[in-house]
């Protein structure tokens, strides 16, 4: 009889990555960001015959752009919408990513990289993925450095729209 057991957190990690892959795309992220963009259309009209044309606002939409707190709140709600508690509370956020508490291991955090609030607009722009791979390589080679973070798992979506990492 063969008995297979998984280390604590393996199934939870697989559930998290599968749900994110199924439910979140770059279109979702971009749609959220674009919903805050200010858009204005206008026409040139003459107030009376023979007068000079004047710019007249025809339609306005949106306002200030989304900030990192709004992105974190939206992402937390979007991930939590699918039933299980895949991520915990928001620990921090920036222009490129949101960090969540890990619900199955209180010594770890979950970093979701989206790249959505920057002018760069993709997950490779800030260099964090390269840094993460460097840290993981150093750890794998046995060259542990207390100044480098422990990155236990890293998953990049199939469309390379976003990434998720399990960090110390």
As a whole number, mean pLDDT of residues 92-117 equals: 87
DSSP state of 59: E
pLDDT greater than 60 at residue 145: yes
- What's the CA gap between 149 and 30, in Å, rounded? 29
pLDDT greater than 50 at residue 2: no
As a whole number, mean pLDDT of residues 85-90 equals: 84
β-strand pairing of 39-45 with 109-113: unpaired
pLDDT greater than 50 at residue 32: yes
Q: Do residues 69 and 96 lie in contact, with contact meaning Cβ atoms separated by under 8 Å?
A: no
CATH number (3.30.1160.10, 3.30.200.20, 2.70.210.12, 3.40.640.10) of 67-167 reads 3.30.200.20
As a whole number, mean pLDDT of residues 109-129 equals: 79
- What's the CA gap between 112 and 75, in Å, rounded? 9
Give 120's contacts (C-beta < 8 A, 6+ positions apart): 126
- What's the CA gap between 136 and 153, in Å, rounded? 9
Q: Where are the domains of the chain?
A: 67-167
């Amino acid at each position: 009889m063969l008995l297979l057991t998984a280390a604590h957190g393996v199934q939870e990690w697989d559930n998290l990555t599968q749900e994110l892959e199924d439910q979140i795309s770059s279109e979702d992220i971009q749609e959220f960001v674009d919903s805050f963009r200010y858009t204005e259309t206008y026409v040139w009209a003459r107030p009376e015959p023979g007068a000079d044309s004047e710019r007249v606002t025809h339609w306005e939409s949106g306002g200030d752009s989304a900030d990192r707190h709004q992105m974190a709140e939206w992402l937390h709600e979007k991930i939590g919408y699918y039933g299980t508690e895949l991520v915990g509370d928001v620990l921090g956020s920036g222009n490129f990513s949101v960090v969540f508490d890990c619900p199955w291991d209180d010594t770890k955090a979950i970093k979701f990289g989206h790249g959505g609030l920057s002018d760069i607009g993709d997950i490779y722009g800030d260099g964090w993925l390269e840094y993460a791979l460097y840290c993981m390589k150093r750890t794998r080679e046995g060259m542990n450095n207390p100044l480098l973070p422990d990155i236990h798992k890293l998953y990049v979506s199939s469309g390379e729209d976003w990434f998720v990492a399990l960090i110390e």
